């Protein structure tokens, strides 16, 4: 009875239905594949406290989820929609007027609350600095688009309802311009190329996006890329987005065999190209330490101003961690070339 009384005071945060093809899988592993930033320890603690239910019955962490099961997670605090608390934080504002602002986001900052990140997000900082930001269709103040936590670079934020609607329409109509710099594993064969493949959640790991080439699942996604500089085992490319899907560049580049450098979620934090020499492994490990995140930077952003109708374009320089990694690879490639000549 005590457990039922506890649940009455809790809030449902997640509910997942196991699909028909679900092989028996421990509930802690099942949830780790679906809840971002969840650790196995936290999930096991929640199960021990009786906060994880399968088909309305509390289960332990070793319960095996089967096809058709409904898994629900309850937590003591409200879901993230109720946790938009202003927090003081420095913002690197590239441009601001009465309608909008453009922010250069550091890597490591989550854009909006959710999935284990309830504080310290860009939105928490924005609502501290700006009153009455308009909310988008997902109830998120000011947000027109987003970039991943460990991606650095430019975001436009709306300050009025008119700006929100106008900018959102540009992103929907694909008239906004977004260019990213990415360091990817492998020597990219063609100087230019396009990845055109529907993106959707990976059925086995819901935290990953995967390409469905036949277009039978997911949403249409198009990424254009061009080689900027070659370093042998890795290549610096620029990517222009025609669509803006979750993890689009990360999933598309993995799909064509060029996973982003140090992208831990997609396997880029392992040596995917190169030699077996100890010195090379040490060099790559040092490069990972130099750039402890996926090598992706939202470098340029362009759109039409909602009020003045002026075409606006912004560029954010590469952060030091990314620049340092490029310099390491450039030096390595030059020494390799000299050694082979």
So which residues are the catalytic ones? 148
Biggest CA pair distance of the chain: 77
**DSSP H stretches of helix in the chain:** 2-8, 27-32, 40-48, 122-129, 161-172, 248-255, 278-290, 320-340
What the block records as the tokens of 171 is 């992103």
Strand partners, 298: 153, 180
Q: How far apart are CA 150 and CA 297, in angstroms?
A: 9
- How many CB atoms sit inside 10 A of residue 265's CB? 20
Q: How far apart are CA 63 and CA 1, in angstroms?
A: 21
In contact, 120 and 82? CB cutoff 8 Å: no
Burial pattern 300-315, b for ≥16 Cβ within 10 A else e, equals bbbbbebeeeeeeebe
In contact, 209 and 200? CB cutoff 8 Å: yes
SS (H, E, C) 303-337: EECCCCCCEEEEECCCCHHHHHHHHHHHHHHHHHH
In contact, 264 and 194? CB cutoff 8 Å: no
């Amino acid at each position: 009875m005590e457990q039922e009384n506890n649940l009455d005071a809790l809030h449902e945060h997640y509910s997942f239905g196991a699909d028909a093809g679900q092989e028996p899988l421990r509930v802690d592993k099942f949830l780790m594949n679906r809840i971002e930033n969840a650790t196995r320890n936290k999930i096991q603690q929640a199960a021990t406290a009786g906060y994880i239910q399968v088909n309305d019955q509390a289960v332990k962490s070793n319960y095996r989820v089967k096809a058709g099961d409904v898994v629900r997670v309850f937590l003591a605090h409200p879901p993230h929609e109720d946790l938009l608390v202003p927090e003081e934080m420095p913002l690197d504002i590239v441009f601001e007027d009465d309608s909008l602002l453009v922010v250069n986001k550091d890597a490591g900052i989550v854009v909006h609350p959710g999935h284990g990140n309830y504080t310290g997000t860009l939105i928490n900082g924005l609502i501290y600095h700006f009153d009455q930001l308009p909310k988008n269709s997902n109830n998120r103040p000011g947000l027109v688009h987003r970039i991943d936590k460990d991606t650095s670079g430019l975001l436009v934020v709306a300050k009025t309802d008119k700006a929100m609607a106008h900018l959102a329409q540009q992103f929907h109509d694909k008239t906004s311009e977004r260019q990213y710099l990415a360091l990817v594993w492998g020597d990219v064969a063609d100087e230019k190329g396009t990845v055109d493949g529907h993106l959707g959640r990976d059925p086995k790991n819901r935290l990953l996006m995967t390409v469905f080439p036949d277009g039978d699942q997911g949403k249409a996604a198009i990424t254009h890329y061009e080689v900027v500089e070659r370093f042998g085992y890795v290549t610096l490319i620029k990517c222009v987005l025609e669509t803006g899907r979750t993890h689009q560049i990360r999933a598309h580049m993995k799909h064509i065999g060029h996973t982003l450098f140090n992208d831990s979620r997609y396997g880029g934090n392992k040596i995917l190209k190169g030699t077996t020499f100890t010195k090379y492994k040490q060099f790559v490990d040092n490069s990972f330490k130099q750039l402890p995140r996926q090598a992706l930077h939202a470098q340029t952003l362009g759109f039409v101003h909602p009020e003045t109708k002026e075409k606006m374009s912004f560029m954010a320089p590469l952060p030091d961690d990314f620049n340092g990694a490029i310099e390491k690879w450039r030096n390595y490639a030059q020494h390799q070339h000299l050694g082979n000549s």
